[in-house]
Amino acid sequence: MQTADLLDTIGGLTSRLKVYAMKLPPVVHLAAVPTGVKPQLEAIEEYEDLVSRIRTQSAGTPYKCLNDSLLESLEAFEAGKLLGAIQPLLALLDQLERMRADQEVEVGRIDEKRIHEYRAALRRIMPGNKPELDETGRNLK
């Protein structure tokens, strides 16, 4: 297994999280929907397939230590917890960078760029992230 294989999976999971995030209403009233808004069964199966495939490929490699984060993300996704699905993937990317720094795995320039792109994409879909409002209110005194 190569770093690129893992990053392909992270990219697939990120795209599924984007699709799910777009379907969520801007405000979910917990009294009306106490269990949250869950993804469709088809989306959950696709997510699970990606996680399962990479877990199988990572067995016996340095990447196997990343499986817990993938499972945590899957469980949160199944429960409809967007933030809970994103945070483990961000932690996984951090851990992958630490593994590269410790020379446990090899990460090329293209893969480094992908790591940064996926981190940025995951942060953009986090609940409450409104980059268009970043400049709002700066000139108020």
Round to whole Å and give the CA distance between 53 and 9: 9
Closest residue by Cα to residue 68 from 46, 47, 91, 49 = 91
**Predicted pLDDT of residue 128:** 65
pTM over 0.85: no
Please, what is the average pLDDT of the chain?
84
pLDDT at 35 over 70: no
Measure the CA dihedral 121/122/127/132, to 10°.
Answer: -20
CB 38 within 8 A of CB 79: yes
Q: Where are the domains of the chain?
A: 3-23+36-127
**Predicted pLDDT of residue 22:** 86
pLDDT above 70 as % of the chain? 81
Query: Rounded mean pLDDT of 93-117?
Result: 93
Residue 37 vs residue 11, higher pLDDT: 11
**Predicted pLDDT of residue 80:** 87
**Predicted pLDDT of residue 1:** 82
What would the pLDDT profile of 43-99 be if each residue is shown by its tens digit? 999 999 999 999 999 988 999 999 999 999 999 999 888 889 999 999 999 999 999
**Predicted pLDDT of residue 129:** 61
